Amino acid sequence: MNKALLKESLFLAVVIISFSTSWFFINLKGPRNGGYVAEKGHRKKYFPAPWLNSSKRKVLFVELYTWGKYYGKGKYKTGEYYISSTWDLALQSMNFEVHRVSTKEYYERMSKEDLAPYHRIFVRDPKFHHLYEDNHDILCRVRPLFFYGEWEHQKNDFNYRYQFPFHEKQIVTAHKDDVNSFLGYFPHNLLEDSKVQNKKKSGLLYGKKAEYFQGFEEVFQRLLDAGFELHSTCQDTEDQQCPFPEDVVKHGPMKPEAFAKLMTEFSFVIGFRKPEVRYIHVTSIDRSC
């Protein structure tokens, strides 16, 4: 396992560096449209992990969204899927072939022969698979995504995500910590670049669930009293209402393109609760908030 971990560390280092390179490429080359470089011939290919020949440059996503899936018809767009879609775009720019299967397909139907071609297998959650026990080669190629980081085996007894004894460095996260392996990501550029205009006193109260905003009612009212225009994508449910004053503008579910356009109007974004660092903060800076 030591040799495997050493090789994995080298692979992760190359991927992180290449992600950074891809970020520069995707953000500096233009014009952009729909998150892709408009002139296809301008997109540069990178070749990390040159010891892998073309037949080995295959990666499997289990449940995680690819770029095309994230911008498809589905409505369930979580932070995990935002992050994984950037991994897909970066991996493809580095000459990796990315396939995607459902959770049911992976855990109930796929055999060890089906998994043999994949250099890495990214799964949404750290959990048990019946093939892991007798096939260490498969186990060593699995990289579960644990969005919030700081995953440790048996961290608690009631959450299934902590029960299978993965190595801590097998767990990939979107947030830097000292325990798991950080994989970077970049903002989705869905709009053409334009000159940044002076913005009005408006901002976004970020969070989908009413519980995130409980206890901050005085903050909202003070911002409104100070002349700020406030928006939110929080959604009311039968059990809970978003605790906002009437003057807060509430938006329903939005497609990524519409949300990106809305972000251009804000001068600030305020996030509530944990994690302190989320993809929305990177996106906000990219949209000059």
Q: Cα(169)–Cα(171) distance, rounded to whole angstroms?
A: 5
Q: Which two tokens stand for residue 163?
A: 């029960």
Please compute the mean of the pLDDT values over residues 101-112 and round it to a whole number: 96
231 and 266 in contact (C-beta within 8 Å)?
yes
User: Residue 191: its pLDDT value, please?
Assistant: 64
For the ranges 14-23, 26-35, 164-173, 241-250, which has the lowest average pLDDT? 26-35
What pLDDT digit, counting tens, does each position of 210-246 carry?
A: 888 999 999 999 999 999 999 998 888 888 899 999 9
* pLDDT surpassing 50 at residue 31: no
Q: How far is CA 287 from CA 61, 193, 218, 262, in A?
A: 29, 9, 28, 10
Which is more confident, 245 or 199?
245
Give the residue carrying structure tokens 């209402």. 241
Dist CA 284 CA 269 (whole Å): 7
DSSP-assigned beta bridge partners for residue 271: 206
Instruction: Assess contact for 205 and 230: CB atoms under 8 A.
Output: yes
Which tens digit of pLDDT belongs to each residue from 108-135? 999 999 999 999 999 998 999 999 988 8
- DSSP calls for 11-77: HHHHHHHHHHHHHHHHHHS--EETTEESSGGGPPP---STTS-GGG-EEEEESPPPHHHHTSS----
Question: What rounded mean pLDDT belongs to the chain?
Answer: 79
Angle at 226 between CA 225 and CA 228, to 5 degrees: 95
Per-residue pLDDT, 12: 46
Q: Would you give the end-to-end CA distance of the chain in angstroms?
A: 45
- Write down the architecture of domain 202-286 according to CATH: 3-Layer(aba) Sandwich (3.40)
Give me the amino acid identity at 109.
R
- 24/98: higher pLDDT: 98
Q: Given this model, what pLDDT does residue 238 score?
A: 86
Give the rounded distance of the alpha carbon of 30 from its chain centre: 23
Q: Is the pLDDT of residue 40 over 60?
A: no
Percentage of the chain with pLDDT > 70?
74
Radius of gyration of the chain (CA): 21
Which residue matches tokens 């190629």?
141
State both tokens at 208: 């989908």
Predicted confidence (pLDDT) at residue 289 exceeds the cutoff of 90? no
Q: pTM for the whole thing?
A: 0.67
Q: Give the range among 115-124, 157-166, 262-271, 278-287 with minimum mean pLDDT.
A: 278-287
Six-digit token string for 220: 């909202």
pLDDT at 194: 60
Q: Residue 23 burial by CB count (10 A; 0-12/13-18/19+): exposed, middle or buried? A: middle
Q: Which residues are registered as beta bridge partners of 204?
A: 231, 269
Taking the C-alpha atoms of residue 91 and residue 89, their distance in angstroms, rounded to an integer, is 6
The SS3 of residue 170 is helix
Domain residue spans of the chain: 2-182, 202-286
**Run of H or E residues at 172:** strand 172-173
pLDDT surpassing 60 at residue 247: yes
Q: How sure is the predictor about 45, in pLDDT bands with cuts at 50, 70 and 90?
A: low
Backbone angles phi, psi at 97, to 5 degrees: -95, 125
CB-based contact 220:248 (threshold 8 Å) = yes
CA–CA dist 256, 247 (Å, integer):
24
Q: Provide the pLDDT confidence category of residue 260 given band limits of 50, 70 and 90.
A: confident
